[in-house]
Structure 1
């Protein structure tokens, strides 16, 4: 089969002015650039300062470092089959493309709708939280939604242009975040050494509280790591770049989060960290930074927490754009959104669609007077979390089916054991998410509403595929064009 680098043009004569074939996409992303974007989406400072206290309070114990390690191992095993399958599935639609290759067009298109829904909700939720965080930081009296709409405008501008520009912006934000967290970690080690206090976090801490909730909340910190495959069409030598970037991203996110969680638990105190996190989740980590590394660092962290949400928004915008771009190329969405800008060598039209949709949803929330944190951010985050866990579980099942049909030349570890372990592990996490969903949404009624919303997105996508099969069987047959079925890698 043809290499992804020699893809046929999207349009020939009559192509709208300003568009170009897929082959003209910028293909300059290497492992570091992709890893930076994925880790930026994971928002390391937001994970440590915002998500970690919630994890500790909800789990009721100080075993946070171990939860991150468990998730790192599980996603590392997941990546074994994921990266192998990437050689046979060139579509930049990432998770949905893998599900489609293993479980069929209808299930795959339903999964695509879930992916677009999930990451769009993440984009909207993060944008709303950014507005509140900025309003609190500046204390100028300007309403939160002004900052949120300003963020969307900036993200729209960057997303419209070459992906390399977004990558460079995210690198700056990410490096600053990491420096602040590392400074805190070093401060904890130095402070504990001079004070003679222990840095030990005993494994026995896992015996208290509800460990299952700890694993569930730790898993949320990895959401977005699939972006390694989303950027396949813009990567140099994707058959090497994507697997390497995936493993590096999982390891970096996992170990960084585990080490930082260890320092927070030890720094605050194994016996007191649960109560401190429950009493003041917004400031427990920032207060620790101030006590071990100086008040200036804590103030800088408050500023960078805002930029962390900006990095999240830009990363998720780019991910949703690539999903929309991939679907438009398959004519599931209007083909115009599957075209490439000749000026920016990027899926600029898909980016405009994503920006317009996010702006419309945010404006609707503003007009309805919804609280940006307790309603918009909370419910959007819950919907996206559920959707991504469902997608990853389906991908694991799809791996098992795909590797039974396609001879990859790899052994049983790559094609049977690793996909089976990831299927079981992710299945357990999915059960934990569903059974504890009201903790994310606030009420059982809201939990049912959000779960119904995610399910509806799958149904809409699946029904859309059925309609295409009925009315345009030629387009339906092309939904999985490019995926290998005879054991030959597409690249």
Structure 2
């Protein structure tokens, strides 16, 4: 018995080097890659304090709960559609299968900009934190940019080596940073006591008090990367089951970890104290709380592993970015070299090399200009990438509905095919609105130029739509529809 599965337009194996290596990732490996993308420790040090200080204060845990619920709704339709999809282009391929080639290529181009921007931002984070730790721990001053170059090169080598090697590296780093957060959460529960954990943090009055839009923007930003389950589907051992299970598990783990840490952070300092600390010095808030609860040893470990946390994200973002360009090029919508995979490693090596070089060049421009790596470089591209990815999630939800309307015989039911995706689309559209409204605050800049950066995403989508509309074909391979059905053994 056979089943039609959306795989993306085929391409010459000779030109691509045989495609990506199959069967290298199980559920655990995929979840590790996704959670590493979320950077639990780095996000806890940065995003949670900002959400508390600039957003809804003691109601921040409620904002993370709302974001998790919306994304779990998104996952219902996403996972249902993943049963019929195996494509490294993820959002690009899903949107093409539901809304057509033009929309799919538009999303693909937007994805390239969004994920490349995230690589730029993470490289700046790495350089900044590495420089800071060397200064505070060893009294050695090294500028952020040389360290950023070093981090990008090492991450690029690991991505080039293959998924197995990079997952092993990320698993070690992720295990330590997650353990630190869990120890902090448990330590706070023991030291502060259960009474310090007020359920008011999840009440409408607290959650929707203050600037809920800012808090939600930071909350959604910390979930970016869970969609990578589909990016790695072509390398999964059992794509139909692995992607679905990994998506749900990743969102649940990320959500529980952030909710618990945000709640513990507030409990460790008290509601009023937490808000004050977040407003006065958000960058030191997590370290101060860890020091008060666990002692100086925890502060030193956290400072070191914030760097490794960011490094894990750097590996994950380079992996995701290179697979988007690989998928687009394989279907004929980017230059052919991007569709090449290494003949032995079977990784999209050309895309990895280009992304690595581009990141160093962009970082060099900011370094020469004397820009601050955090407030001017990283923050700008985090804001831009978050907006682009959340917007694509909203469109994917609509694509799920369209896909199952076009293929009613594949529909898993009204809840998975219509209701959950519709609710997710509404929630994600609201999140996009809030991100745009608070873009200056998220990026840390009120510059008119920075305020207009979201138009770069619009431009990328328009260019993609034009390219997709031209319907170019690679060596006579049909491009009638991206992610066109092909026979595959069930």
* Aligned-partner Cα distance in 2 for 1:364–1:323: 25
Matched residue, 1:354: 355
* CA RMSD after TM alignment: 2.3
Preserved CA contact (<8 Å) 1:29 1:236: yes
Deviations 1:359-379 (A, max 9, x none): 222222223332211211011
1:42 and 2:38 matched: yes
* Aligned-partner Cα distance in 2 for 1:135–1:375: 17
Return the offset for 1:474.
5.3
Return the offset for 1:490.
8.2
Matched residue, 2:146: 146
Matched residue, 1:451: 454
SS in 2 for 1:272: helix
Preserved CA contact (<8 Å) 1:382 1:450: no
Preserved CA contact (<8 Å) 1:230 1:323: yes
TM superposition score normalised by structure 1 = 0.92
Q: Assess, with a 3 A threshold, how the Cα gap between structure 1 residues 192 and 489 changes in structure 2: closer, same or farther.
A: farther
Match of 1:420 among 419, 422, 426: 422
Q: Assess, with a 3 A threshold, how the Cα gap between structure 1 residues 362 and 306 changes in structure 2: closer, same or farther.
A: same
Preserved CA contact (<8 Å) 2:133 2:304: yes
| 5+ residue gaps, structure 1 | none
Describe how 1:33-432 pairs up with structure 2 within 5 A.
Answer: 33-139=29-135, 140-193=140-193, 198-202=196-200, 203=203, 204-206=205-207, 208-407=209-408, 408-432=410-434
Preserved CA contact (<8 Å) 1:187 1:293: yes
Return the offset for 1:8.
9.8
* Aligned-partner Cα distance in 2 for 1:302–1:83: 37
Preserved CA contact (<8 Å) 2:11 2:474: no
Preserved CA contact (<8 Å) 1:9 1:20: no
- Give the length in aligned residue pairs: 480
Deviations 1:80-125 (A, max 9, x none): 1101111223221001111111111111111111111111111111
Match of 2:17 among 16, 20, 33: 20
Return the offset for 1:467.
3.7
* Aligned-partner Cα distance in 2 for 1:255–1:122: 24
Return the offset for 1:152.
1.0
TM superposition score normalised by structure 2 = 0.92
* Aligned-partner Cα distance in 1 for 2:4–2:31: 23
**Larger deviation: 125-134 or 402-411?**
402-411
Return the offset for 1:183.
1.1
**Larger deviation: 183-192 or 241-250?**
183-192
Return the offset for 1:133.
1.1
Preserved CA contact (<8 Å) 1:45 1:178: yes
